[in-house]
């Protein structure tokens, strides 16, 4: 049996000024370090984040105790982001319930929450999310890279299928949780095509998503490109040479037809009345709290 490892830390939450650019978050935290999903493109493997043995899941000693101390002293009850580096619903969460404990504290102290995940375990916490959403903002982003389950299994070997992720999204929406699709990364030569984009947008609409957002590209930082190249060559022999020829040592790798694909993406989103602009998404999910406040007055 695999047990979680613990590391020492002094802080859990960090104030961020990136909120206006990234889903309106005010604080970010990662309750876990490392991930067992095995996604071949994962940017969190980068040396930039100083996470050794990334495939090993760790948490922090007294994580919930420290978090409660921090939440209780914050005067601004903003939106707290979960899962920017490691999925908060990894395989260890079912046993250790650290994410659930954090959500209970978020609810207790009146904060909002932004969650990125590829897991169906989030459905366990629907009632908690509903309670949090009564008093503050909630936004759930289900990460989906490809509409093709077979391709997804290769790119993200230890994750539930894309089809199941759309079902998770549908369930969240049926329970009135503000949720949508995070279509990132978009992998050059692999998922950067109109057919994949069309299918993801259509399935997001069929799942009653509030939004779909993409950055239309990928990053290949140090300690990521070698891992990605080794794996992508197993799927398409020699494809790494195309990456090296086109992108060289670039960190940001945008699709060759970036403007056309972005235009196509926006057109498809508009067809199904799905929000895809960051500013509009932020305004919309935070508006829900204001509406709840107005209703409560009556």
Give the span between the Cα atoms of 270 and 281, in whole angstroms: 14
Over residues 33-38, the mean pLDDT reads 86
Q: For residue range 205-223, list pLDDT tens digits in order.
A: 999 999 999 989 999 987 7
**φ, ψ for residue 253, nearest 5 deg:** -120, 95
Q: How deeply is 266 buried, as exposed, middle or buried, from its count of CB atoms within 10 A (0-12, 13-18, 19+)?
A: middle
Q: Which two tokens stand for residue 20?
A: 């206006």
Going by C-beta distance under 8 Å and a sequence separation of 6 or more, which residues neighbour residue 255? 186, 188, 192, 216, 217, 261
Output the CA angle 280-281-283, nearest 5 degrees. 65
Which residue's entry shows tokens 């950055």?
215
pLDDT at position 78 is 93
Q: Which two tokens stand for residue 112?
A: 């909002």
pLDDT at position 298 is 42
Which three-class secondary structure state does DSSP give residue 168? helix
Residue closest to 261 by CA, chosen among 161, 203, 183: 183
Q: Which domains does the chain have, with CATH numbers?
A: 5-296 (3.20.20.70)
Q: For residue range 230-269, list pLDDT tens digits in order.
A: 999 999 999 999 999 999 989 999 999 999 999 999 999 9
pLDDT at position 295 is 45
């Amino acid at each position: 049996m695999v047990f979680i490892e613990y590391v020492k830390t002094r802080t859990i939450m960090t104030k961020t000024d990136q909120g206006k650019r990234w889903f309106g978050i005010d604080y970010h935290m990662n309750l876990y370090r490392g991930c067992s999903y095995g996604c071949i493109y994962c940017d969190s493997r980068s040396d930039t984040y100083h996470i050794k043995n990334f495939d090993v899941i760790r948490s922090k000693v007294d994580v919930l105790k420290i978090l409660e101390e921090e939440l209780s002293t914050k005067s601004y009850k903003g939106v707290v982001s979960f899962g920017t580096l490691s999925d908060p619903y990894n395989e260890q969460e079912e046993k250790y319930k650290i994410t659930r404990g954090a959500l209970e504290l978020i609810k207790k102290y009146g904060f909002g929450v932004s969650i990125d995940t590829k897991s169906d375990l989030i459905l366990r916490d629907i009632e908690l999310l509903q309670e949090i959403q009564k008093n503050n903002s909630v936004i759930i982003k289900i990460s989906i890279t490809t509409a093709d389950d077979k391709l997804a299994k290769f790119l993200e070997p230890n994750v539930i299928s894309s089809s199941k992720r759309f079902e998770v999204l549908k369930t969240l929406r049926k329970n009135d949780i503000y949720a949508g699709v995070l279509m990132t990364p978009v992998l050059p030569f692999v998922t950067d095509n109109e057919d994949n984009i069309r299918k993801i947008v259509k399935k997001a609409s069929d799942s009653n998503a509030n939004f779909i957002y993409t950055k239309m590209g990928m990053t290949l930082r140090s300690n990521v490109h070698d891992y990605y190249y080794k794996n992508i060559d197993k799927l398409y022999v020699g494809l790494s040479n195309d990456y090296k020829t086109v992108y060289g040592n670039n960190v940001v790798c945008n699709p060759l037809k970036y403007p056309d694909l972005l235009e196509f993406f926006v057109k498809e989103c508009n067809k199904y009345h799905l929000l895809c602009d960051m500013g509009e998404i932020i305004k919309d999910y935070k508006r829900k709290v204001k509406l709840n406040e107005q209703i409560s007055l009556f």
